[in-house]
Amino acid sequence: MAAANPWDPATAPNAAGLLLGHFITSELVTEEMLNISKKSTSCFVNFSRLQQITDIQAEIYQKNLEIELLSLEKDAADVVHPSFLAQKCHSLQSMNNHLEAVLKEKRSLRQRLLKPMCQGNLPVEAVYHRYMVHLLELAVTFIERLEDHLETIRNIPHLDADLKKMSTALAKMDILVTETEELAENVLKWREQQKEVSSYIPKILAEKNSLHKHDVIVPPLPLTSKVNVQTINAK
């Protein structure tokens, strides 16, 4: 005989069943909630999820490896890719052909180089005339600036000393700039003081004039009084 379910109010009329029945009648608990609590998830569901996660991780790892291989192939495309290799082989073949031609004509080239080229005419095809004009302009410009370039090359060993001199000169210039700024500030202050003094001068002159106007002028004594004083003293 199967054991009675204590959570089922129909099959187990005990205290728990009666309490659940009371909750259901009072609508505090529904039958759907009780059915959900009865359901039990199988452990195989978790195993299947774990297997899915493992498969996804393996796929991600495989994709990362493919991305790394593609990036390596992109970085080494100029060495491994057939089209780049074909271009390099073509350039090497043309250079090899040129060197072979130079080696075949080595004796004639040496004789031509030993001959002086002064007042000689070099045959140039008409297609390359405009390029020769541009080349001659560049040569003239280079010859004009050759002395400056040589002077620069001669001064290369003295660059460290020149840089030290420049650093000391810049330090002195900074000091002079600060002194000039201080002097300019002092001049501005002196100008402001002169303006204040010049503004006070008219006031001072006006006050002096007003004081001169209010002074009492004592009239001089007549000459007769002096004569009388002298006669009295004689007596």
Residue type, 46: N
For the record, the structure tokens of 111 come out as 């004789």
Angle at 194 between CA 192 and CA 197, to 5 degrees: 115
Q: pLDDT value at position 18?
A: 74
**What was the pLDDT predicted at 180?**
93
Distance CA 55, CA 50 (A): 9
pLDDT for the residue 233:
47
DSSP H helical ranges for 76-158: 77-80, 82-104, 106-114, 129-144, 146-154
pLDDT at 226: 45
> CB within 8 A of 38, min separation 6: which ones?
7
CB 4 within 8 A of CB 17: no
Q: What is the pLDDT along the chain (235 residues), one digit of tens a residue?
A: 344 455 544 454 566 667 777 777 777 667 676 666 555 555 556 777 888 888 999 999 999 999 998 888 777 766 666 777 788 888 899 999 988 988 888 888 888 777 766 656 667 788 888 888 888 899 899 889 888 888 888 888 888 888 888 899 999 999 999 999 999 999 999 988 888 888 777 777 777 777 666 554 444 444 444 444 444 444 4
Please tell me the distance from the alpha carbon of residue 13 to that of residue 4, in angstroms, as a whole number: 10
Instruction: Name 31's Cβ contacts closer than 8 Å, sequence gap at least 6.
Output: 24
Eight-state DSSP code of residue 116: -
Burial profile 91-118: b = 16 or more Cβ within 10 angstroms, e = fewer: eeeeeeeeeeeeeeeeeeeeeeeeeeee
Please count the other Cβ atoms lying within 10 Å of the Cβ belonging to residue 21.
Answer: 14
Supply 110's token pair: 């040496």
pLDDT of res. 49: 82
Taking the C-alpha atoms of residue 207 and residue 201, their distance in angstroms, rounded to an integer, is: 10
| Amino acid (one-letter) located at 136 | L
